[in-house]
Amino acid sequence: MSSMAETASAPNSLRDSYRRIRRHSEALAAPLSAEDCAVQSMADASPVKWHLAHTSWFFESLVLTARPGYRSFDPHYGFLFNSYYETLGPRHPRARRGMLTRPSLDEVMAYRAHVDAAIEALLEERAALPPDFEIGLQHEQQHQELILTDIKHALFSNPLLPVYAADAPGPGALEPPQWLDHAGGLVEIGHGGAGFAFDNEKPRHPVMLRPFRIASRPVRNRDYLDFIEDGGYLRPEFWLSEGWAKLQEENWRGPLYWLQDDDGRRSYFTLRGATPLDPEAPVMHVSFHEAAAFAAWAGKRLPTEFEWEAASAQIEFGAVWEWTRSAYDPYPGFKPFAGAASEYNGKFMVGQLVLRGGSFATPTGHARPTYRNFFPAQTRWQFSGIRLAEDI
Amino acid sequence: MSSMAETASAPNSLRDSYRRIRRHSEALAAPLSAEDCAVQSMADASPVKWHLAHTSWFFESLVLTARPGYRSFDPHYGFLFNSYYETLGPRHPRARRGMLTRPSLDEVMAYRAHVDAAIEALLEERAALPPDFEIGLQHEQQHQELILTDIKHALFSNPLLPVYAADAPGPGALEPPQWLDHAGGLVEIGHGGAGFAFDNEKPRHPVMLRPFRIASRPVRNRDYLDFIEDGGYLRPEFWLSEGWAKLQEENWRGPLYWLQDDDGRRSYFTLRGATPLDPEAPVMHVSFHEAAAFAAWAGKRLPTEFEWEAASAQIEFGAVWEWTRSAYDPYPGFKPFAGAASEYNGKFMVGQLVLRGGSFATPTGHARPTYRNFFPAQTRWQFSGIRLAEDI
Amino acid sequence: MSSMAETASAPNSLRDSYRRIRRHSEALAAPLSAEDCAVQSMADASPVKWHLAHTSWFFESLVLTARPGYRSFDPHYGFLFNSYYETLGPRHPRARRGMLTRPSLDEVMAYRAHVDAAIEALLEERAALPPDFEIGLQHEQQHQELILTDIKHALFSNPLLPVYAADAPGPGALEPPQWLDHAGGLVEIGHGGAGFAFDNEKPRHPVMLRPFRIASRPVRNRDYLDFIEDGGYLRPEFWLSEGWAKLQEENWRGPLYWLQDDDGRRSYFTLRGATPLDPEAPVMHVSFHEAAAFAAWAGKRLPTEFEWEAASAQIEFGAVWEWTRSAYDPYPGFKPFAGAASEYNGKFMVGQLVLRGGSFATPTGHARPTYRNFFPAQTRWQFSGIRLAEDI
Amino acid sequence: MSSMAETASAPNSLRDSYRRIRRHSEALAAPLSAEDCAVQSMADASPVKWHLAHTSWFFESLVLTARPGYRSFDPHYGFLFNSYYETLGPRHPRARRGMLTRPSLDEVMAYRAHVDAAIEALLEERAALPPDFEIGLQHEQQHQELILTDIKHALFSNPLLPVYAADAPGPGALEPPQWLDHAGGLVEIGHGGAGFAFDNEKPRHPVMLRPFRIASRPVRNRDYLDFIEDGGYLRPEFWLSEGWAKLQEENWRGPLYWLQDDDGRRSYFTLRGATPLDPEAPVMHVSFHEAAAFAAWAGKRLPTEFEWEAASAQIEFGAVWEWTRSAYDPYPGFKPFAGAASEYNGKFMVGQLVLRGGSFATPTGHARPTYRNFFPAQTRWQFSGIRLAEDI
């Protein structure tokens, strides 16, 4: 567990990247039993075993199947491990992934080995690789973070609050944020240079910004506690209408995973089990609604994704994903990836919010300042936090 | 019913505007029985009687209550007819508005007369009016369109498919759309001049656009039929993920209110009852998802709200509201109205899409090129249609 | 409202019965507006207007349609006003009866007059009447009680707690119950003599009973208050498993319609509006689960329907329906009515409990000691109360 | 797997019974992986691991805890493995038993060994055993059947339709049923002699029966196929109202686990995987509603539980549980077990139907002619079938 981070864009060869990324997924599963790897605690989360299989299926379906002579490991696996690609055939329902006690974890590991051998053979040929190969690497890195968010949720569903790993990483402590000014004006947004980027980061295009001020670091638990103790969860004036409805429906009284004993002492559930609240750590596991309400309480607002990106060179990020005040809309001139990968991002561009930055659980080198993560406004099981901004 | 349209910004005096707008709401209810006015067919829609009362409550709460000597018509009405203003106290649940058989329609009309008399007395004073007075007029005009969308839905819930009014208006026939080019560049978006505008239309600000092409008129039923007959509702490749899920969940096979008899003949339900489909009329009662899927099938896309506004001087609009490819986010520098009216628009700025233009049922003069209507992506009971655009 | 009670089995002619019963339904609707008559407050309840139409449809479908020359009032009404008779064609969904603002109340009254005229013509012929005629009278009497239970629920759904009628009846005060002994043994159960009885009361058959003791009168509000104040709704040991789950799910803290102000003062909603609790009146609007929990708390039990019937000559009943400890199973040798009326009772004989006795709202002469009313265990909007029993 | 059946009432010593029963539970889990043992496919079913732990918890809580010096294996296990005993403290929610990846299967087996050791020590003392010891044995036998019903459901939730065990038992083929006459009269019902019986089988009491005819064996698949092919699932006239609603809601077209390929060929899922339908085997996995509809289609009816018991000496039973036409009501004079075991049966005596007989999966010697099994009317995942009866 010492090195949670792996990179696809390392200076090493693609083979090295492939090997390291594949091994890292398996390392993330290593502290878990086969039982742990099979459980699904809600429809939005997937079993660890499913992640291990799905990432292999992705390489198989988008890279290997087209190769002459490739023999599928098991023709049923497409049905089991396709996530949402309509182009690639029907699927097992998402909410029932936890029913898949078969194939066993051992069989899934054998499936991974089978795919690895075929990819190694492909790399051996030194022919030009299809673009979906690189997407496959980035895809597996995304699932590495999901392995951690999903198993955290699953373990929290157990009243014993079991530990994922005694040395599991977390976001760490942060210095207090400083305010930074940005002059606004016409800024270039999106990915335009060399290196991998997802289709949703393109094309690079100019966006006009007003002058703004942005915090150098995310909001910390100590600040969020002030919000709670000032009645933040009891005062509708801070909340968007949908957020206030959700708060009441689900009886939110603090971030997901926060605990309070009968004497009012606070702690929270982490990948290392239940621990005292670290006041200096960035608050995480808040929804967009909580982020926006906190900002309103503080007399500030959330930055747009454009402000965030324009200021990205000056700010400190990477501990927690940061909700922005931007809906996940396509960039002007957006063109999806070709082929089955066209379903990767574009078809989700409605009803979600953009998060920026990356978290302690994002493999190093995976994210970029132009990277656009996205989740619905009520999402709380991701490593999602808050950065403040304001008009000048 | 001859004149569905009334305007708040007429050259006449405010008193004339007030009188005409108030009378128009009542004219809309005139073809209906007290039973018709009391029914609520779904949580999103409200009874006509409730609209008549709520618009009066709005004037009472935001304009009259602060006046010395004003006597409330009935102290319980605030609880019954407050829609969503947390500042103004607790409310009857939205989904249960149809339970309010009391007060009767006659009592609600007496309430309207009580409010009218107090407003007339206020206008008599010739003192400066609070800004909420003008908002109250605009607000009532918005509910005039909702009276028609909501009663249409209620009547459609009756298997007899009863008629609202034999001479009820509709969107009429349209000429075929032409393609218009726009050069893009830095354009000014939002309301900046004199005259009323909602807070969500401000501040006026520059937005950078790429060159684009936009249709001069909305999509017509004949075009939408082609989409249906080409398997539009059966082919996931045209749909956003959430839209495809909704289609399956609710078994969408065409726009809301479209009917098909056992021999496959198509008709639709209108305010004049069930009638044959007019192929030249603009398609309406489609969700954002259907609009986006149609555009994808046609090899085009929806315009952003900024493109729409930039092109508004060249295009023909006003028959149906038009879904844009823009989430309903705040404009940079957005400031909500003061006081209770701060809850009017701002707290809904997440999870919705912007519609532009206005419909046949929008009171004349109510909408503007900068006007931002908004609904969730799956909404179908509004008079919502489709305009196409594409990149150049 | 002075005479809530009418009888089908009066010594007068059938025509008199028919006229009196039909007029009584209309008298029950008289205190209500058309708006009141159209509302449906939950799927289990129906609008008053629907009751008025359905009872007419029953005569039309089971008695008149077969008559040569009978002209239906409106061929659509079968779809609208058929309740649950599969034999008689498809139906408007039960939960959407409140959508029927058309036909209007006036049109429904015209429908009643049309049916009345045809029945009068039939009676004029002095031919043998089909058995469904008598069933139609009894059926309409059943709906008379439902008109009151359903409008009570609808008015309670209005936060103004409006009054049905200032002189509306109620169960009245009761003397304290006495204990009566019964020796048990082989008793004859069910209807065996002359006069009308429903199919579910037959055949008369012997049932073996153990000696038991039964209360002479139902439990009163004062006793039920003791149960509440002794923690009855907080102590699972008194409750059946399903009842305890329901209590928690719906947060039951007392009978339906009981109210408590901020100072803890209790009142309840009645057909006369909100009034102070009458401690001597029988408790009503309790579910079977509450009845059984009260009995367990009191160290007693509910009587079986056989014990109840065996003791019916000695006990005082008729103020409230009384939950028994008997599931609604068919009697040995049960034969349903012939024709469409076969669906009247038999197809509901699972998952329900038998209630015995009749309530203040049951038309006089309608119920009998052998009469079997039935509702699911969680039902609370009926005029349902509690009688205690115990083993000797 | 050759011997699925074990008995608590063997002539051997209690220790032998205890050992054999405990080992048999473990043998049932032997063909399964830890992943298989952890999964929960619906709220009504439990993971195999949970069954293994819960049956141990039962001995611990009702027998061992009261013993001086007994040391609990883990104080958290009470919360995890209490099923529904309010007396014994709060519980993990039933629908979330599948979240318990910890304790692992190995830890649960260690828990079993801990309890076994303590019970062996208790037996060693040769003191009088509490009545809950015998209940614990019977209880574990009940869970042995549930292990099979629940894992069958879980494996069926996997699109691979995996095999539980290649030699798993089934109900086998049956000869065609014969009709047997019974004279009726006053018969003694319930358990009255020596040997163990559950509280719900008592007291023995006389019940008066009419003469009836009963089938000597259950209905077979071939007969049920006739029902299906005659439109049984399409014709409401055979169905109770609630059953017809359920059929439509869940789109029933045959028993649970029946399969049909694109060419119409029928098979079904068994503990040995998908296999061709055996026409001579008794139909199983039907709800009470399907049983009652089949009987109506056949012009017969289901026997009451009293008729069943009265005829039990003449009929052949034990292949499948048989739905009776009797609601699960308490017998006259019913007294629940003492202590925590009072919650074992009594609190479920509403809203369920009685099944009689026992199935191929019921441990031999566990059931008796007086044995009352019970499930809600829509239950289909049990090994439940149909026996016909009729009036003479």
With 0-12 / 13-18 / 19 or more C-beta atoms within 10 angstroms meaning exposed / middle / buried, residue D211 is exposed
pLDDT of residue D139: 98
Mean local confidence (pLDDT), D79-88:
94
> CB of C209 within 8 A of CB of C307?
yes
Mutate to test the interface with B, among A235, A345, A350, A372 (most CBs of B within 10 A): A350
Amino acid (one-letter) located at C31: P
Tell me the C-alpha distance between D180 and A335, whole Å: 76
Q: How far is A186 from chain B (nearest CA, A)?
A: 9
pLDDT of residue D10: 37
CATH number at residue B269: 3.90.1580.10
Chain position carrying tokens 């198509």: B266
Retrieve residue B172's tokens. Answer: 């009429």
Answer left, alpha or beta for residue B327, where phi above 0 means left and psi between -120 and 50 means alpha. beta
3-state DSSP assignment of residue A242? helix
Mutate to test the interface with B, among A331, A347, A392 (most CBs of B within 10 A): A347
Establish how many alpha carbons lie within 13 A of residue A153's alpha carbon, considering only the half-sphere containing its beta carbon. Answer: 22
pLDDT 10s digits, C120-141: 999 998 888 899 999 999 999 9
CB contact under 8 A, B210 and A210: no
Mutate to test the interface with A, among B83, B202, B208, B379 (most CBs of A within 10 A): B208
Per the document, the length of chain D is 392
CB contact under 8 A, A241 and B348: yes
3-state DSSP assignment of residue D267? strand
Q: How far is C317 from chain B (nearest CA, A)?
A: 34
CB contact under 8 A, D207 and C208: yes
Mutate to test the interface with C, among B99, B111, B156 (most CBs of C within 10 A): B99
> Residues D99, D188: one domain?
no
Mean local confidence (pLDDT), A192-212:
96
Tell me the C-alpha distance between B62 and B70, whole Å: 12
Chain B contacts of C157, Cβ < 8 Å?
96, 99
Q: How far is B45 from chain C (nearest CA, A)?
A: 13
CB neighbour list of residue D23: distance below 8 Å, 6 or more residues apart: none
Cα-based angle C383, C384, C385 (whole degrees, multiple of 5): 125
3-state DSSP assignment of residue B266? strand
Q: How far is C266 from chain B (nearest CA, A)?
A: 22
> Residues C275, C138: one domain?
no
Chain C contacts of B36, Cβ < 8 Å?
101-102
Tell me the C-alpha distance between B62 and B56, whole Å: 10
> Residues A134, A239: one domain?
no
pLDDT band at D4 (very low <50, low <70, confident <90, very high): very low
Tell me the C-alpha distance between D36 and D160, whole Å: 13
pLDDT of residue B14: 87
pLDDT band at A126 (very low <50, low <70, confident <90, very high): confident
**Minimum Cα–Cα distance from B234: chain A residue:** A86
Mean local confidence (pLDDT), C30-45:
98
Chain C contacts of B75, Cβ < 8 Å?
none
pLDDT of residue B368: 95
CB contact under 8 A, B186 and A208: yes
CB contact under 8 A, D98 and A162: no
pLDDT of residue B126: 81
> CB of C372 within 8 A of CB of C191?
no
CB contact under 8 A, D38 and A101: yes
Amino acid (one-letter) located at C106: D
A2 within a domain of the structure (yes/no): no
Mutate to test the interface with C, among B101, B105, B157 (most CBs of C within 10 A): B101
Closest CA to A45 of A97, A93, A104: A97
Tell me the C-alpha distance between C348 and D377, whole Å: 12
C261 within a domain of the structure (yes/no): yes
Q: How many domains does chain A have?
A: 2
B201 within a domain of the structure (yes/no): yes
- Residue D266 to residues B333, D174, D252, D258: CA-CA distances in angstroms? 66, 19, 15, 7
Whether D135 shows a pLDDT value over 70: the answer reads yes
> Residues C188, C308: one domain?
yes
3-state DSSP assignment of residue A368? coil
Q: Give the strand order in the sheet containing A179-182.
A: A179-182, A212-215, A389-391
pLDDT of residue C13: 83
If one counts every other C-beta atom within 10 angstroms of the C-beta of residue A200, the result is: 25
* A–C touching, 3+ CB–CB pairs within 8 Å: no
Chain A contacts of B348, Cβ < 8 Å?
240-242
Q: Tens-of-pLDDT digits for all 392 residues of chain B?
A: 333 333 444 334 889 999 999 999 999 999 999 999 999 999 999 999 999 999 999 999 999 999 999 999 999 999 999 999 999 999 999 999 999 999 999 999 999 999 999 999 999 988 888 999 999 999 999 999 999 999 999 999 999 999 999 999 999 999 999 999 999 999 999 999 889 999 999 999 999 999 999 999 999 999 999 999 999 999 999 999 999 999 999 999 999 999 999 898 999 999 999 999 999 999 999 999 999 999 999 999 999 999 999 999 999 999 999 999 999 999 999 999 999 999 999 999 999 999 999 999 999 999 999 999 999 999 999 999 999 999 99
**Core vs surface per residue A129-140: b (16+ CB within 10 A) or e:** ebebbbbbbbbb
**Minimum Cα–Cα distance from B98: chain C residue:** C39
* C–D touching, 3+ CB–CB pairs within 8 Å: yes
> Residues B186, B322: one domain?
yes
Amino acid (one-letter) located at C51: H
> Residues B273, B335: one domain?
yes
* Phi, psi (rounded to 5 degrees) for C48: -55, -40
Tell me the C-alpha distance between D264 and D249, whole Å: 23
CB neighbour list of residue A392: distance below 8 Å, 6 or more residues apart: A181, A210, A211, A212, A213
CB contact under 8 A, D99 and A33: no
pLDDT of residue D9: 42
Chains that touch D (3 or more CB pairs under 8 A): A, C
> CB of D40 within 8 A of CB of D98?
yes
Whether A285 shows a pLDDT value over 70: the answer reads yes
Inter-axis angle of helices C14-29 and C105-124, to 10 degrees? 170
Show which residues on chain C lie within 8 Å of chain B, measured between beta carbons. Answer: 33-39, 41, 76, 79-80, 92, 96, 98-105, 154-155, 157-160, 162
Chain D contacts of A76, Cβ < 8 Å?
159-160
CB contact under 8 A, D237 and C87: yes
Chain C contacts of B37, Cβ < 8 Å?
35
Residue C274 domain boundaries? 179-391
D264 within a domain of the structure (yes/no): yes
Amino acid (one-letter) located at D78: G
If one counts every other C-beta atom within 10 angstroms of the C-beta of residue C352, the result is: 21
3-state DSSP assignment of residue D232? coil
> Residues D111, D244: one domain?
no
Whether D2 shows a pLDDT value over 70: the answer reads no
Tell me the C-alpha distance between B137 and B144, whole Å: 11
D356 within a domain of the structure (yes/no): yes
Amino acid (one-letter) located at C351: G
> Residues A136, A242: one domain?
no
**Core vs surface per residue B262-286: b (16+ CB within 10 A) or e:** eeeeebbbbbebeeebbeebbbbbb
Alpha carbon dihedral A100, A106, A108, A114, in 10-degree steps, equals -160
Whether A6 shows a pLDDT value over 50: the answer reads no
> Residues D231, D133: one domain?
no
Chain B contacts of A391, Cβ < 8 Å?
332-333
CB contact under 8 A, C38 and B35: yes
**Minimum Cα–Cα distance from D90: chain A residue:** A159
**Minimum Cα–Cα distance from B239: chain A residue:** A347
> Residues D380, D246: one domain?
yes
Tell me the C-alpha distance between D218 and D172, whole Å: 12
Retrieve residue B101's tokens. Answer: 């058989």
Strands A353-356 and A373-375: antiparallel
Retrieve residue B51's tokens. Answer: 């609209």
> Residues D229, D294: one domain?
yes
* B–D touching, 3+ CB–CB pairs within 8 Å: no
Mutate to test the interface with D, among C86, C334, C335, C347 (most CBs of D within 10 A): C347
pLDDT band at A8 (very low <50, low <70, confident <90, very high): very low
Tell me the C-alpha distance between B298 and B230, whole Å: 11
Average pLDDT of chain D, as a whole number? 95
Retrieve residue A12's tokens. Answer: 């090493």
Q: What percent of chain C has pLDDT over 90?
A: 93
Mutate to test the interface with A, among B213, B241, B249 (most CBs of A within 10 A): B241
Q: How far is A208 from chain B (nearest CA, A)?
A: 6
pLDDT of residue C355: 98
D187 within a domain of the structure (yes/no): yes
Average pLDDT of chain C, as a whole number? 95
Closest CA to D102 of D81, D117, D86, D88: D81
**Per residue, what are the HEC states of D84-121?**
CCHHHCCCCCHHHHHHCCCCCHHHHHHHHHHHHHHHHH
Final residue in a domain of this structure, among C107, C141, C156: C156
Tell me the C-alpha distance between D78 and D59, whole Å: 12
B287 within a domain of the structure (yes/no): yes
Q: How many B×C Cβ pairs under 8 Å?
A: 78
B48 within a domain of the structure (yes/no): yes
> Residues B44, B90: one domain?
yes
pLDDT 10s digits, D48-71: 999 999 999 999 999 999 999 999
- Indicate the residue of A39, A154, A160 with minimum beta-carbon distance to D76: A160
Instruction: Indicate the helix (H) or strand (E) that contains B112.
Output: helix B105-124
Tell me the C-alpha distance between B328 and B337, whole Å: 17
Show which residues on chain D lie within 8 Å of chain A, measured between beta carbons. Answer: 33-39, 41, 76, 79-80, 92, 96, 98-105, 154-155, 157-160, 162
CB neighbour list of residue B41: distance below 8 Å, 6 or more residues apart: B98, B150, B153, B154, B156, B157, C99
- Indicate the residue of B36, B100, B162 with minimum beta-carbon distance to C158: B100
Q: Give this complex's ipTM.
A: 0.95
Task: Please report the DSSP string for A309-321 in residue order.
Answer: HHTTTTS---SSE
Chain A contacts of B295, Cβ < 8 Å?
none
Per the document, the length of chain B is 392
> CB of A208 within 8 A of CB of B206?
yes
**Minimum Cα–Cα distance from A84: chain B residue:** B241
- Residue C212 to residues A148, C25, C183, C306, C327: CA-CA distances in angstroms? 64, 40, 7, 11, 19
Q: What percent of chain A has pLDDT over 90?
A: 93
Show which residues on chain D lie within 8 Å of chain C, measured between beta carbons. Answer: 84, 86-87, 186, 205-210, 236-237, 239-244, 288-289, 292, 304, 325-330, 332-333, 347-351, 353, 377, 391
